[in-house]
Amino acid sequence: EPEVTQTPSHQVTQMGQEVILRCVPISNHLYFYWYRQILGQKVEFLVSFYNNEISEKSEIFDDQFSVERPDGSNFTLKIRSTKLEDSAMYFCASSPDKGTNSGANVLTFGAGSRLTVL
């Protein structure tokens, strides 16, 4: 069964450093997403991406964050000048389309990248 792949599974970084989290969405999906989950808390939307540009973003997704699709398969989240509060699990997801009235547009999540900022 197709899956979303995320690397690294766990990254530890020093405060102020830049990190790049990588994702390989399902190959025939058109929409890509990043979510984060601070330990034990709710899943928060960061950004969605379609046709090589940001489709929607939340208030969390400020200038510290950026996304890119550098080639035909990878989708990356860059976090600049990391802060302690950026420590979280970051989930990448993809969906075939973004319509709401079809079960085919379910988000498929990757296993997540746990970021620890020291």
Stretch that binds other proteins, among 19-27, 64-72, 74-82, 110-118 (CB under 8 A): 110-118
Per DSSP bridges, beta strands 19-24 and 31-37 are unpaired
Considering Cα of 61, then 84, then 6, then 11, what sign does the dihedral take?
positive
Return the residue of 45, 60, 66, 96 that touches other proteins, per CB under 8 A: 45
- Pick between residue 76 and residue 105 the one whose CB is nearest to other proteins: 105
- Pick between residue 18 and residue 97 the one whose CB is nearest to other proteins: 97
Q: Should residue 64 be labelled a site residue for other proteins when binding is judged by CB under 8 A?
A: no
- Pick between residue 10 and residue 83 the one whose CB is nearest to other proteins: 10
Q: Should residue 96 be labelled a site residue for other proteins when binding is judged by CB under 8 A?
A: no
Interatomic CA distance for residues 74 and 71, integer angstroms: 6
Interatomic CA distance for residues 77 and 52, integer angstroms: 14
Interatomic CA distance for residues 39 and 95, integer angstroms: 25
Do the beta carbons of residue 86 and residue 39 sit within 8 Å? Answer: no
What are the residues binding other proteins (CB under 8 A)?
31, 33, 35, 41-45, 48, 50, 55-56, 58, 89, 91, 93, 98-103, 105-109, 111-112, 114
